Structure 1
Amino acid sequence: MIQDPFFILLVGMVIVVGGIIGLKLNPFLALLLAALVVAWMTPDASIVAYALQKGQSAAQASTLAERSIGERVATAFGTTAGQIGILIAMAAIIGKCMLVSGAAERIVRSILGITGESKAPFAFLSSSFFLGIPVFFDTVFYLMIPLAKAMAMRLKKSYLLLVLCVTAGAAMANSLVPPTPGPLFLIAEMDIPIGMMMIGGFLVGLITILAGYVFAVWANKKWEIPLRDSLDAPLKEIQSLAEKGKDQLPGLFLSLSPILIPLVFISARAAIDTFVGAVPSGRNPVWEGIYFIGEKNIALILGALAALFTLFLMKNKEKEALKGAVQAALTSGGVIILITAAGGAFGAMLQQTGISMRIAAMTEDYQIALIPLAFFITALVRTAQGSATVAMITASGIMSGMSQATLDYHHLYLGLSIACGSKLIPWMNDSGFWIVCKMSNLTEKEALRTFSPLLTIMGVAGLLVVMIAAKLLPLN
């Protein structure tokens, strides 16, 4: 009983939720403590089985099981930090510099000039959805959050609505539309044509983000969460920029450059990966250059340099302004990196319990109502271990045999159902939860009652759309 993955999950949840909300522990400490306890409770046999299932050799699996608890947690912590550390640090610099230089204010005024105040949140929703197709969810959030803060200051309201709109658009595109990793693995595993997945994911995504928008509007009215003072975005600073004349702000192109540079090059690399494949060395220096710059860490570094250059020009080339902005950004970003990496370590320790394999075994012989089954398998794995991509990989592995079976509808619908199921239920074992929570200055309670239900509602809406479409338009 004590070594059962579901019992270990329950213990981990009690430590994290109880520690943060009940004992008021810092999230970093609560997550790290939970990761250590989960690692301690996990038997060696489960770790070996997990490693073998991941494709490691018997020797590698045995070595992983023999590692000390602290070493396993530290390795997972370091892996997550390696994946998001530079991105968060550069995103913090971009956000701080865009706010201080007036670039965010300039972009916000341009958006309002096109949409008007009433449609500004919808503009954020649609923009983040389209940006989320070629770019990772976290990158879209990093690039959009300074604009949301500047827009909220100008509107004097609706900060939560803007944050949820950014989250809704980017999150759904990330799971539904290739070339992001989850959908790419899914279509390969289930033999779904990429063009069909792109079109189907795009259409389902449009409907789900509308459902998310309705919830975001309701949540914003029910819980009016203000734009809070923070080290990286002091309210006094944002307010002073909002009062400046247009001639005191940078030009639109210069203002957009910290966003456009990473967006364009990351998208270009994604297009090369999807439609061309690996670029042969020495064959095409232009493509090689795009491929190198389009790596997300390099692209965000260039975006940060563009943001620093904009600030340098707008502050009359004062070096002290650059120093202060970078120091404030990295102080704030460092805390986010620690919390996010601890969340990643907690999720990784849960995966080593073998909970994904247990769920797979429980549902192996159940073939009734395949579309909702695929959805709930994915949702269960996502909720249990925190990663949407891992949930999609697990569920697509379970359901891959159905791609060859005779169904009343195209197996595309199974793939779309898995993608929608990966949105349920984001909580404290998900590194994305902490990115949204900390970079938007929401408390843990606020994130749990707004961000988590938002993604859950959109996922369920997606399931309903997929089931209706499979009935009315089977595509066979």
Structure 2
Amino acid sequence: MSSLFALSLAVCAIVSVVVLIARFRINPFIVLFAVSLALALCAGMPPQKAIASFEAGAGRVLGHVATVIALGTMLGKMLAESGGADRIALTITRLAGEKRVSWAMMVIGLLVGLPVFFEVGFVLLIPLAFTLARRTNTPLLRVALPMGAALSVTHAMIPPHPATLLALSAYHADIGRTILWGIVIGTPAAALAGPVYARFIAGRIGPVLPSALEAQFVNHDVPKSMPGFGITVLTILSPVVLMLVGSTADVVASPHTPLNNALHFIGNTDIALALATLLSFQVFGTARGFSRETILKFTNDCLAPTALIMLLVGAGGGFGQELVDSGVSTAITDLAVGAHVPLLVLAWLLAVVVRVATGSATVAMSTAAGIVGPILVHTHGASPELMVIVTGAGSVALGPLNDAGFWQIKEYLGLSVGQTIKTWSVIETLIAVLGLVFALLLSLVVG
């Protein structure tokens, strides 16, 4: 398959998805499923293999994301019903002021996003965004988008995320300097792509109707007695703490020892969220006077609106897998490798290409680093730490339709496909471009 033909197939597939959903109002899951199969067949895959590829991709993504969404939604529901979200919202508003809520959410996103994946941080913080927007009469997009931008920046540019650790190894970069340059580059990138752009775009995309998920978190009577600020924050951040504890497993105990295995177990994303959700049943449930039957009703009711989100996230994974298994993504990557450009730009460009081809920032970063890493070893043409950062920046570019985060943002915030492209896809692209530009400028100083 020629690179140009592969690129044409990918572009046609993406355009078809947008047009069929936005113009002809066809169910997004049906569109993603049909277009994925059509792309695979046009690329020459046998029909049975095309179907199996979609199922494998959907199952792989849902195996992780569905659990995260379900547990995070339950935790968020308990936070909202107990008045915990209102307690945090009132405290943040008092400390930061209503006019600086978007900046406060960006800072919270940067801090919470350091040890967790984007999807985890998003489901943990979105109830707070809903509540803050309501409490301060601020458009939801101006609260939620800065938070999302901050989570995306930390996911892509700052260790200890798994993809950044792989890139660190591939480029033989120093983790301390990478964290330092990641903060130096990532903070202004998050500010410009988050609060600044959110303020610009929020009133320019037309009306945004409340989503079904938003109703789960804000349409309730706030109890007169709300949980304390400290215990509320501790409960929300408990999965983050457990993940941090898990990340120290190989430092405090030898591999495969009982202690090492136990720390890895409690630090697992799913286990940490499950333990936090169980804790919320006590802190936000029985301790606030709710019966077990009421807690069960809360957790059952809040899951219903997540069904479509899970289907779309899975379909996005299937779409990405078809691009990989059909050879389309490989052909496009070969096209990018053939371009004679500086190493920082090549790493960024490759990450962008793989991001569009697979939809996964983690896959994009690890793949690009694996290709460019050996080249850097022999040429020494750029700072290894900046190579990690530009690869991470490119890995979040475009916010494509085969990315799980695209559909999370769309459904949670009640946006159309077109509105999601104008908001989230642009934010992801701004992060990617700003990360590259700032890294190139910094390379003039650090070499």
TM-score, length-scaled by structure 2: 0.92
d(CA) in 2 for partners of 1:9 and 1:152? 38
SS of equivalent residue, structure 1 residue 222: coil
Deviation at 1:463, TM superposition (A): 1.0
Residue deviations 1:450-472, cap 9 Å, x none? Answer: 11111111211111111111112
Aligned counterpart, 1:329: 302
Does structure 1 conserve the Cα–Cα contact (< 8 Å) formed by 2:41 and 2:47?
no
Aligned counterpart, 1:200: 181
d(CA) in 2 for partners of 1:6 and 1:42? 11
1:472 aligns with 2:424: no
Residues 236, 355 of structure 1: CA spacing in aligned structure 2 closer, same or farther, 3 A cutoff?
closer
Matches within 5 A, 1:33-182: 33-43=34-44, 68-182=49-163
d(CA) in 1 for partners of 2:342 and 2:423? 30
d(CA) in 2 for partners of 1:388 and 1:68? 25
d(CA) in 2 for partners of 1:303 and 1:340? 23
Q: 2:255 corresponds to which letter in structure 1?
A: V
Does structure 2 conserve the Cα–Cα contact (< 8 Å) formed by 1:145 and 1:440?
no
Q: 1:118 corresponds to which letter in structure 2?
A: K
d(CA) in 2 for partners of 1:236 and 1:408? 53
Deviation at 1:66, TM superposition (A): 9.6
d(CA) in 1 for partners of 2:218 and 2:100? 26
Deviation at 1:408, TM superposition (A): 5.4
d(CA) in 2 for partners of 1:320 and 1:99? 17
Aligned counterpart, 1:265: 242
Residue deviations 1:251-295, cap 9 Å, x none? Answer: 22332344122110012212435x56863323x3xx543321111
1:395 aligns with 2:376: no
Does structure 1 conserve the Cα–Cα contact (< 8 Å) formed by 2:343 and 2:381?
no
Q: 2:247 corresponds to which letter in structure 1?
A: A
Residues 366, 343 of structure 1: CA spacing in aligned structure 2 closer, same or farther, 3 A cutoff?
closer
Residue deviations 1:97-149, cap 9 Å, x none? Answer: 21111111111112122222122211110111122111111111000000000
Aligned counterpart, 2:197: 215
d(CA) in 1 for partners of 2:134 and 2:206? 14
1:237 aligns with 2:219: yes
Does structure 1 conserve the Cα–Cα contact (< 8 Å) formed by 2:213 and 2:412?
no
d(CA) in 2 for partners of 1:172 and 1:310? 31
Residues 40, 356 of structure 1: CA spacing in aligned structure 2 closer, same or farther, 3 A cutoff?
closer
Deviation at 1:176, TM superposition (A): 0.6
Does structure 1 conserve the Cα–Cα contact (< 8 Å) formed by 2:37 and 2:54?
yes
Aligned counterpart, 2:427: 454
Q: 1:228 aligns with which of 185, 188, 210?
A: 210
Residues 427, 29 of structure 1: CA spacing in aligned structure 2 closer, same or farther, 3 A cutoff?
same
Aligned counterpart, 1:32: 33
Does structure 2 conserve the Cα–Cα contact (< 8 Å) formed by 1:2 and 1:8?
no
Residues 377, 251 of structure 1: CA spacing in aligned structure 2 closer, same or farther, 3 A cutoff?
same
Does structure 1 conserve the Cα–Cα contact (< 8 Å) formed by 2:130 and 2:214?
no
Residues 461, 77 of structure 1: CA spacing in aligned structure 2 closer, same or farther, 3 A cutoff?
same
d(CA) in 2 for partners of 1:370 and 1:383? 20
Residues 227, 114 of structure 1: CA spacing in aligned structure 2 closer, same or farther, 3 A cutoff?
farther
Structure 2: which 5+ residue stretches go unaligned?
none
d(CA) in 1 for partners of 2:369 and 2:216? 45
Q: Which moved more, 1:11-20 or 1:78-87?
A: 11-20
1:252 aligns with 2:225: no
Residues 93, 278 of structure 1: CA spacing in aligned structure 2 closer, same or farther, 3 A cutoff?
farther
Q: 1:216 corresponds to which letter in structure 2?
A: A
Residue deviations 1:289-321, cap 9 Å, x none? Answer: 332111110111112212222342366232332
Does structure 2 conserve the Cα–Cα contact (< 8 Å) formed by 1:100 and 1:237?
no
Does structure 1 conserve the Cα–Cα contact (< 8 Å) formed by 2:77 and 2:216?
no
Residues 37, 162 of structure 1: CA spacing in aligned structure 2 closer, same or farther, 3 A cutoff?
same
Aligned counterpart, 1:378: 351
Give aligned-pair identity as a percent.
Answer: 26
Residues 232, 451 of structure 1: CA spacing in aligned structure 2 closer, same or farther, 3 A cutoff?
closer
d(CA) in 2 for partners of 1:276 and 1:420? 32
d(CA) in 2 for partners of 1:364 and 1:13? 22
d(CA) in 1 for partners of 2:392 and 2:218? 42
Aligned counterpart, 1:354: 327
d(CA) in 2 for partners of 1:450 and 1:26? 21
Does structure 1 conserve the Cα–Cα contact (< 8 Å) formed by 2:116 and 2:161?
yes
Matches within 5 A, 1:295-444: 295-313=268-286, 316-407=289-380, 409-444=382-417
SS of equivalent residue, structure 1 residue 23: coil
1:16 aligns with 2:17: yes
1:280 aligns with 2:256: yes
- C-alpha RMSD of matched pairs (Å): 2.5
Does structure 2 conserve the Cα–Cα contact (< 8 Å) formed by 1:232 and 1:328?
no
Q: 2:314 corresponds to which letter in structure 1?
A: A
Structure 1: which 5+ residue stretches go unaligned?
45-64
d(CA) in 1 for partners of 2:9 and 2:395? 21
d(CA) in 2 for partners of 1:139 and 1:132? 9
Number of residue equivalences: 445
Residues 317, 394 of structure 1: CA spacing in aligned structure 2 closer, same or farther, 3 A cutoff?
closer
Residues 223, 21 of structure 1: CA spacing in aligned structure 2 closer, same or farther, 3 A cutoff?
closer
Deviation at 1:234, TM superposition (A): 4.6
